[in-house]
A = this chain, B = another copy of it.
Amino acid sequence: MSCPEVTAEAVRVLKLISSKTDLNLDLASHDFGGAGIDNHGVPLPDSTLDACKSADAVLLGAVGGPKWGVGPVRPEQGLLKLRKELGLYANIRPANFASESLLAHSPLKPEIAKGTDIIVVRELIGGIYTATYSIPEIERITRVAAQCALAVDPPLAVHSVDKANVLATSRLWRKTVTALMEKEYPQLALDHHLVDSAAMLMVANPRKLNGVLVTENLFGDILSDESSVIPGSLGLLPSASLAGAPDANAIVMGLYEPYVSMLILHSRNKRLTANCPLFPSSIHGSAPDIAGKGFANPIGTILSAAMMLRYSLGKADAAELIERAVEKVLDGADKGGFDFRTRDLGGQRNTSEVGDKVLEVL
């Protein structure tokens, strides 16, 4: 947990929840990414890997920063290795409006953005990143997508994204997804999009992709990042990386992190950071690295902790409590009440003030 302040807020939330329920939390903090390099010379020290392996779940702070960006040992190598070692093949990244108040912050027109509700399910340890896919690898990620679609009533549609008109591996992907869905989930609606079309549609008419969007590693990397800016404010969205399909009756090992860590990772590209604040209304030429400054928004991490309760700790009720509390806090901005915007989002709040508010509502 190397982005101390946002993680600290999520931990406060988890502690409050455990004090009110039968949840017994045993929390430990370990060096990873940039902190791993500084203190152990590698982004994923053995002691951290061992601790993760024996844990029920991992909550990740930001893992990088411009400081470590250029060397041969890079923080993201730790992330790639951790995913592989823990078998975290299923990355779940929802992009939706936790509150309508966020419409004001979307780069899209409200009538285009409104109601966007896409769960990106990205295969996380194979694909173009390494080489290609085997049929079982495609089948298991398809099952994850199907389980996500079935988690709500009525079930969601499943959109599979590939580049089957050009790539052989995409043709295998499409064939395998289609066959498995017909055999095991005939009740679910399934369609196929080409990745370039999907990238267009995500901007032009994102509601058309509402439901579960399942895709391979590289396409998922691009499309989930693209989808994450629709709800307007980076740092407010959670993500989960799972070692199995989510299931109401089972518990899976998972790693949980907010989207904002991606931003910090990428800021290792100096020019990007220095010249390209992601949102015109934010950062305003301030220091590129927002971690450690006390003004990063903790909501993405708090929502990631909620996902952790749901998928890895069997506490769906507690997860919902947190999600509803966050929704109320975000709604406040709309109704002239509490403004959740931290300084990284162009607002005035500190990290802990937002955490305080979530705790208060809880």
Contacts and interface: CB of A to CB of B under 8 A. Distances in A.
A196 B208 contact: no
Contacts of A194: 266, 269
A286 to B, nearest CB: 15
Contacts of A271: 191-192
Contact of A196 (B191, B192, B195, B262): B262
A153 B106 CA distance: 34
B204 A279 contact: yes
B229 A204 contact: yes
A317 interface: no
A82 to B, nearest CB: 14
A152 interface: no
A196 B167 contact: no
Contacts of A80: 166
Given A193-B269, A269-B192, A272-B191, A199 B199 contact: yes
A277 interface: yes
A214 interface: no
B112 A280 contact: yes
Contact of A204 (B74, B112, B269, B278): B278
Contact of A167 (B74, B129, B203): B129
Nearest to A77: B165
A109 interface: yes
A336 B200 CA distance: 29
A144 interface: no
Interface string A224-254: 1110111000100000000000000000000
Contact of A277 (B203, B205, B230): B205
A284 interface: no
Nearest to A192: B269
Interface string A102-120: 0000111101100000000
A230 B226 CA distance: 14
A141 B217 CA distance: 26
Contacts of A205: 107, 276-280
A201 interface: yes
A218 interface: yes
A112 B277 CA distance: 13
Nearest to A224: B196
A226 B226 contact: yes
Contact of A108 (B107, B111, B200, B268): B107
A221 B166 CA distance: 11
A261 to B, nearest CB: 13
A195 B166 contact: no
A107 B262 CA distance: 25
A18 interface: no
Contacts of A234: 204
Given A76-B165, A128-B128, A107 B204 contact: yes
A203 B203 contact: yes
18 contacts: A76-B165, A107-B108, A107-B204, A107-B205, A111-B280, A128-B167, A165-B265, A165-B268, A192-B271, A195-B222, A197-B225, A197-B269, A203-B203, A203-B230, A204-B229, A205-B278, A208-B275, A226-B226
